Amino acid sequence: MRSVVFDIGETLTSDTRYWGDWARWLDVPTHTMSALVGAVLAQGRDNADAIRIARPGVDVAAEWQARQATGHGDALDESDLYPDVRPALARLQAAGMWVGIAGNQNAAVSGLLRDLGLPADAIATSGEWGLSKPSPAFFERVKEWAPGAPHEIAYVGDHPANDVAPAQAAGLRAAHLRRGPIGLTTSAPSADWTVNSLTALADLLVGE
């Protein structure tokens, strides 16, 4: 591998605080919000549908702007990172691999991630690119962005349909991370690697 590119949500960062903040904003119990997110994901729906169920008729984009205006919008800090993130990314870099981070997030998340000083060579989001997964165009952009031929680039994510399948369709290699609600409840038999942690992935890639 010359390059390893990572998804963001439930790959590098936990969504726990994100959905907890939405629960408080919507004035519903945290457990209820979590259950709603799990239900819509199990049905293959957009996770924002959990917000629409909790508050029927809501305009999610407008509600997000209202949160931003009152200081309850984007937030990301060290506590949101899974504990294996820094050591795994640093190990891949130390082994000579280019490390990228690219996922479906709004443009502001790029700055928040950069502020964390992660061991990564480049960071991008769908909001910056104007392309989102699972669109083939997103993975074509990854191929232009990350060094190496397609088969020398690995994309790592928790979502078989959004991460693994479209990455492989673009000629990239793909790692399925069994993490988060989708990663743990759906399988990706075609994945080049299936791992339970980024530590295990680093072991495999550095050892290749």
Q: DSSP characters for the chain?
A: --EEEE--BTTTB-SHHHHHHHHHHHT--HHHHHHHHHHHHHTT--TTHHHHHHSTT--HHHHHHHHHHTT-S----GGGB-TTHHHHHHHHHHTT-EEEEEES--HHHHHHHHHTT-S-SEEEEHHHHT--TT-HHHHHHHHHHSSS-GGGEEEEES-IIIIIHHHHHTT-EEEEE--HHHHHH---TT-SEEESSHHHHHHHHHH-
Predicted local distance difference test score (pLDDT) of residue 109: 85
Q: Domain residue spans in the chain?
A: 3-14+77-207, 16-69
**For 63-87, how does the pLDDT look when each residue is reduced to its tens digit (9 = 90+)?**
888 887 777 666 788 999 999 999 9
Looking at the predicted structure, is the pLDDT value of residue 12 above 90?
A: yes
- How does residue 123 score in pLDDT terms, banded at 50, 70 and 90? very high
Say whether domain 3-14+77-207 belongs to CATH 3.40.50.1000: yes
